[in-house]
Structure 1
Amino acid sequence: MQALETLMYQLAQLFLAPVLLIILALFLFAFFSLGSFAMEAWQRRRGQASPLYRHWQRAGGGAEDLELWILRRLEVLRLATRTGPMLGLVATMIPMGPALMSLTAGDAAGVSEHLVIAFAAVIVALIAASISFWVLTVRRRWLLGDLRAMEEQGHV
């Protein structure tokens, strides 16, 4: 049984670096999305055509095609909002094992080192997920409102 426990511990440790890199990528993506969201808000305020209308002008299609385009456009944001907190939890739990081992060895510096990683990872992941969720929610409302307006005007 000890070999299985050691294998599980080592396997979990292998995932820490990739999970931290994915959380960093989600964080950067969230701020990129926030910037593009701000740009779209500015364009909407100036009265420019919505991205949905511009897509319809290029590709045409009916309401179902436009709904599918909306889903595709929002898919990455939706995934970021759902995977961010899960990865934050994973990145919190992985360093807890070494932190507990440091605690039993009386190594306070080791405990704090691992806890800093754990809490920083979950904070960054939750910030990324929160920003992504906010952008997703408002952008979905905008796009569905645009689709409804296009339907009322008889475009689709």
Structure 2
Amino acid sequence: MDTIAYYLTHPSALIYVTANALMYPVIILELVLLVFSVFEAGRFTVEMSMRRHRRSLPALRDLTDAARKALAGGDPEGAIAHLGEAVGTSGYGKRFAGRLTPEHMGRAHIVKLLDDTESEVRRRLERTRMLVRLGPILGLMGTLIPISPALVGLAQGDVQTLSDNLVVAFSTTVVGLLIGAIGYVISTVRERKYLQDISDIEYALEITEL
């Protein structure tokens, strides 16, 4: 009861204890995000290596025109094959083309497939955009939390406590910024590639008149 009464009468002490209690959860979460960012960087490298084929607008135009003619001629299988060649060189274009079926070539179904593909793109980008925000936030928290005990150690002449806490503070800052940098690079490049995929799909559908 005395402890509770003390914290109720000294809210600054309660804030101090709460902040210190967050130290280990912040460090653990930052390490988890670091592992996730390295994993995501590996996936990004593999993903970009699979996009070796350079996009060709003339080829895209010719293949989608062939798809339009096949569809007009009553050959939905041929139209799907041409669309697959047109947009299938990219990651999400390949997924979109793989979901097309001769039985569901109506406008409503095509629009739904496109919406689902765009939703997948947003979900993929959200993962790395989260790193851009959370990395520096956790790094800043990991910097500020040890400052209080470091100042207490300085006031008491405890150089060891001061140095230990400053090491933790600066280390968490560096790791947090590293996480944010990895997330930013991946998100920027992926967004450009994915928007091009969606643009190619929309162009192919417009030419094919679906």
Q: What residue is the counterpart of 2:25 in the other structure?
A: 18
Alignment of 1:4-43 (within 5 A): 4-43=11-50
Matches within 5 A, 1:98-137: 98-137=149-188
Write the deviation string for residues 120-151 of structure 1: whole angstroms up to 9, x where unpaired: 00100100110111001101100101111111
Letter in 1 for 2:120: W
What amino acid does structure 2 have at the position aligned with 1:11?
A: T
Deviation string, structure 1 residues 6-65 (Cα, Å, up to 9, x no partner): 111111111111111111111111111111111011110157733212332355653333
Structure 1 range deviating more: 106-115 or 59-68: 59-68
Structure 1 residue ranges (4+ consecutive) displaced by more than 3 angstroms after TM superposition? 46-49, 57-61
Q: What letter is aligned with 2:27? A: L
Residue ranges of structure 2 left out of the alignment (5+ in a row): 1-7, 55-87, 101-109
1:71 aligns with 2:122: yes
Q: Which structure would you say has the larger RCO, counting Cα contacts within 8 Å and 6 or more residues apart?
A: 1
TM-score, structure 2 normalization: 0.69
SS at match of 2:141: helix
Unpaired stretches in structure 1, ≥5 consecutive residues: none
More moved, 16-25 vs 61-70: 61-70
Conserved? CA contact 2:53–2:89, under 8 Å = no
Alignment length (residue pairs): 156
Aligned residue type for 2:186 = V
CA–CA distance in 2 between the matches of 1:26 and 1:146?
28
Q: Does 2:189 correspond to 1:138?
A: yes
User: 3-state SS of the aligned residue for 1:44?
Assistant: coil
2:150–2:166 contact (8 Å) kept in structure 1: yes
CA 1:98–1:148 in structure 2 vs 1: closer, same or farther (change >3 Å)? same
Structure showing greater radius of gyration is: 2
For 1:89, the equivalent position in structure 2 comes to: 140
Q: Amino acid of the residue matched to residue 57 of structure 1?
A: A
Give the distance between the partners of 2:173 and 2:99, measured in 1 at CA: 41
Q: TM-score, normalised by structure 1?
A: 0.91
* Aligned position for 1:51: 91
1:3 deviates by 2.6
- RMSD of aligned Cα (Å): 1.9
Provide the C-alpha distance between the structure 1 equivalents of 2:26 and 2:140, rounded to a whole number of angstroms.
Answer: 10
Percent of paired sites with the same residue: 33
